[in-house]
Structure 1
Amino acid sequence: MGTRVNVLLVTLFVIGNLCSICAEVQTKSTLRVSAVLDSPYLMLNRDGSYVGYLPDLLDKLNITYNISLAPDSQYGVQYPNGSWAGMVGELANGNADIAGLLTVITPRSGVIDFSYPVMPVSLSLLISKPSVINISTLARLLYPFNLSVWVMVIVVFVVVGTVLYVMMRFNPYEWRRMARDHEATVQEGESFTCLNSFFFVTSTLMWQGYNQAPRSIGARVLVVTWWIFTIILIVSYTANLTNLCSTGFFTSSNERELPVKSLSDIAYSDMRVGFLQGGATHRFFRESKSSVDQKIYKKVINDAKYNEFETAEYLVEQIRRNRYGNGFVAIVESPTSRYMASRKPCDLIDLKQDFSHSYFAFGLPKGSSLEKNLNFALVKLTETGEIHKLEKKWFEQQAECSDVRNPVTQRERPRFYSLDLATFSSAILIVLLGLVIGVFICLVEICVYRRTKSHANDDETKPMTVQETADKPDEGIEDVTPAIHVYEDNTS
């Protein structure tokens, strides 16, 4: 009985050693690696060999491999019948031992296994770099208001100045008529000539006061409403200018005016947008419940050239072709976006977005015996910093451009909005009411003055002619001839 037990133990020991030897042989044998040409992960050298981040990482793993390209140059696309294409399809069909690098998503996890994460990844916006706009200090002072507001200010200024001059010229209760009737000095009578009327409007707009104020009620109503308008205008400008100063707008020598900064800007603009069809980014927007994401997804799939969105290089080509039109935005994974923006001619900007976080990892067939050893090696490379060195080598040291990302995106800046015409709707309404009421009162004053003058003329006595004076009896006129008394001298 004891002999049988010993034989059984020896047999199990031999089988265990054979299994470990087989696993070691399998690990050290040439592995079939499925990949896709995608800079800087895998690129074709002039001598026909492969270079890039992926070959360097495989060399660090100390394994023997043979890279073969996926037949359809896809990462992993699932067809409606449930089958898979690309690198995922190669693993699922047993045509590859390793595939990489792949974005870890739920549908792929159902048919293949993933290794330990190699690199974190999110989505980025890749756009054409706008030209630098040199803005003078004087032009910066106009930024608190929209162009429509400045046009409105000029129009209101001209209208109020013109109406005020007309009212002061024809209103009989103003300084001009009083100076003519010698009830005011000549200087006071010239207080509201055409030039002085506009000077009055200008000085009050700048809160600098005035020398003479209108006398008529109609002109005073117009002036009061103009004062209210100027108070609203100046206070709004000062407050928004202070807000603009807080954004650091006046401290920077130049600005880049980005056409978009977020997904919302893309969804509600006329810019074209694209992403690689059939990949993880495609799935993210297709299955997202966000209305913004769905709007972007419809814009992409309805694009006339959507069927050509198969490589990141093609998306970059579309960005450069459309830079002078409405523009084109490519939504790609952050490592790819960063690499593309760092290549010459340095005309792209990477706008990293904080959403859709995932990882790059190696893909393995379900139940692969390589998973344990591969994960152990990847953890070790992560702890020793070798993976970080590879990432720095291919994404930073070989960068051809220094300004990869827009400096504005590196720090949080308060958003600034120029005030538009709708903000001053109440102020405009007040001025319009002042114009209407002031002109109406001025017309009433003119009518009242003329009526009063006509009645005064009717009450005056008409002068008599010479004949009427001769024929008229001398009634009521006393004889003022002195009486002459003759005194008789009785002394004779």
Structure 2
Amino acid sequence: MEDPPFTYQTPDDSGNMISNGYGIDVLRVLARQVGFKVHLQWLEGAQFGRQLPNGSWTGMIKRLQEGDADVALSWLTITPERLQAIEFADSVPIRTYWNGLFVRQTASFQTESMLGALTKPLGLDVWVALLATLLIVSLVLWVVLRAARHEPLESQRDYSPGACLLSIYGGFMMQGYVRTPTSAAGRIVVISHWAMCIIVYATYTAQLASFLTATDKTPLLSSVMQVATHTQYPLLVDETSADVSAMRVSPDPGYRALYSRVTNGDNVMDVSAVVRRGRDVVSDTAVLYIDYDRLVYYLRERSCFYEPVVEVVYKHSPAYLGLRRGLPQRDGINAALRKMTESGLLQRLWKKHFHSSFMCAQPQYIDRGAKAVKGRRRAAWARALADID
């Protein structure tokens, strides 16, 4: 992979640019095990390579095809078109990835009138049930006081049907009444009503607090066709990715329309702009067609607010080193990659550069966790090719 943290350059104390990254480490191991020397060519702003209508290629694939380089230090997927131009170190994938359309969630706080905010936490059926409960408990209290043997006549006169309703309503509002029933049965009814009111108040308070503080998170766009047609939202994509080329013949009309938007350049920005200008170039309304590892690396904590536009099937695509046709060291490179995989070295090098120093608090769209490199690095967007001696 040509972009950080796969390959990148950082200046040393004297100002010289030092090559670094996962791909660079892998290439150094291959050079020792296979026995070749490496001369790196950094192609600023170059692309993976796209096949033009006349059949020729651009970018890295062109350099391999013309013999100007021996190895494309990148993560290239194997396609029939590419196989006609170059070869691959296809014994072991250099990495696996999955691309997706990612969009930032939009958060809007609940906005209601005062009355609406106070009544919203409980549904209409709950409010109707509470009203019915007040009437029923009032009737029960009136009957109990009339039937109780030890209830004074004065108390019975004070607790008329309307007074019972007022007493029960006052209890619901946490207000006492002028008289307390004398009989045990009457007091049991009143105490039970107060206990019920406490439970209702606790539930209502919790629901109200949740309602007033919760945010409604909804995706900005919800389909591929919307991304293709709503060109007012910037689209960040690597235009020479094999997955983008595959959109042209996709059975999904949304992806075919998205391919047309990319080729027409309708408010489309290359992912390399993120590396050149920093992650702030990604606005909150931007849509990114990118693999998840790069999303996390570029946006860091901001990536936690992004989710796929459509439901994602986590199908990981293998990617390989591209090689010049007829390269004598091809078998040796394949054997060395197999050995690195069997020993676990390839995985350790991957974790070294993609290990995350943070985790999303509530990951909702990916079960692999976030992977990013620690610390800040001044990275130059580079497409690395290697000449082998």
Say whether the fold is shared (TM-score over 0.5). yes
2:331 aligns to what?
372
Residue 272 (structure 2) aligned to one of 311, 315, 318: 311
1:120 aligns with 2:96: yes
1:318 CA drift (Å): 8.9
Q: TM-score, normalised by structure 1?
A: 0.46
Matches within 5 A, 1:126-205: 126-128=102-104, 130-131=106-107
1:283 CA drift (Å): 0.4
1:353 aligns to what?
312
1:396 CA drift (Å): 2.0
Deviations 1:198-227 (A, max 9, x none): xxxxxxxxxxxxxxxxxxxxxxxxxxxxxx
Residue 331 (structure 1) aligned to one of 281, 289, 296: 289
Change (3 A) 1:305 1:54: same
Change (3 A) 1:268 1:409: farther
Note if contact 2:104-2:307 (Cα within 8 Å) is conserved in structure 1: no
Note if contact 1:276-1:312 (Cα within 8 Å) is conserved in structure 2: no
1:68 CA drift (Å): 0.7
Structure 1 distance, partners of 2:293, 2:72, is 18
**Which has the larger share of helix?**
1
1:372 CA drift (Å): 1.0
Deviations 1:72-119 (A, max 9, x none): 612112222222221111111111111121322321111111113111
Structure 2 distance, partners of 1:98, 1:113, is 10
2:253 aligns to what?
291
1:104 aligns with 2:66: no
Three-state SS of the structure 1 residue aligned to 2:46 is: coil
Structure 2 distance, partners of 1:396, 1:135, is 41
Structure 2 distance, partners of 1:283, 1:110, is 16
Structure 1 distance, partners of 2:45, 2:281, is 26
Change (3 A) 1:66 1:41: same
Three-state SS of the structure 2 residue aligned to 1:70 is: strand
1:59 aligns to what?
28
Three-state SS of the structure 1 residue aligned to 2:74 is: strand
1:15 aligns to what?
none
1:51 CA drift (Å): 0.9
Residue 382 (structure 1) aligned to one of 341, 347, 356: 341
Partner amino acid, structure 2, of 1:386: L
Count the aligned residue pairs: 264
Partner amino acid, structure 1, of 2:23: L
Note if contact 1:266-1:296 (Cα within 8 Å) is conserved in structure 2: yes
Three-state SS of the structure 1 residue aligned to 2:288 is: strand
Structure 2 distance, partners of 1:330, 1:275, is 6
Structure 2 distance, partners of 1:377, 1:383, is 10
Note if contact 1:135-1:254 (Cα within 8 Å) is conserved in structure 2: no
**Which has the larger share of strand?**
2
Three-state SS of the structure 2 residue aligned to 1:297 is: helix
Three-state SS of the structure 2 residue aligned to 1:125 is: strand
1:259 CA drift (Å): 2.2
Structure 2 distance, partners of 1:348, 1:315, is 23
Three-state SS of the structure 2 residue aligned to 1:338 is: helix
Q: Which runs of 5+ in 1 are unaligned?
A: 1-34, 146-248, 412-492
Structure 1 distance, partners of 2:315, 2:304, is 26
Three-state SS of the structure 1 residue aligned to 2:219 is: coil
Q: TM-score, normalised by structure 2?
A: 0.57
Three-state SS of the structure 2 residue aligned to 1:127 is: strand
1:266 CA drift (Å): 3.1
Structure number with bigger Rg: 1
Change (3 A) 1:317 1:126: farther
1:402 aligns with 2:364: no
Structure 2 distance, partners of 1:345, 1:355, is 21
1:263 aligns with 2:224: yes
Note if contact 2:45-2:272 (Cα within 8 Å) is conserved in structure 1: no
Residue 350 (structure 2) aligned to one of 379, 385, 391: 391
Change (3 A) 1:395 1:314: closer
Partner amino acid, structure 2, of 1:74: Q
Deviations 1:186-207 (A, max 9, x none): xxxxxxxxxxxxxxxxxxxxxx
Note if contact 1:128-1:319 (Cα within 8 Å) is conserved in structure 2: no
Deviations 1:287-315 (A, max 9, x none): 32311111222333344443x52625179
Using CA pairs under 8 Å that are at least 6 residues apart, name the structure with larger relative contact order, 1 or 2. 2
Structure 2 distance, partners of 1:266, 1:378, is 39
Structure 2 distance, partners of 1:374, 1:330, is 34
Structure 2 distance, partners of 1:332, 1:143, is 40
What is the aligned-residue RMSD (CA, Å)?
3.9
The alignment-based identity, stated in percent, is 23
Deviations 1:126-181 (A, max 9, x none): 43464585899x86985999xxxxxxxxxxxxxxxxxxxxxxxxxxxxxxxxxxxx
1:76 aligns to what?
49
1:41 aligns with 2:14: no
Structure 2 distance, partners of 1:348, 1:60, is 37
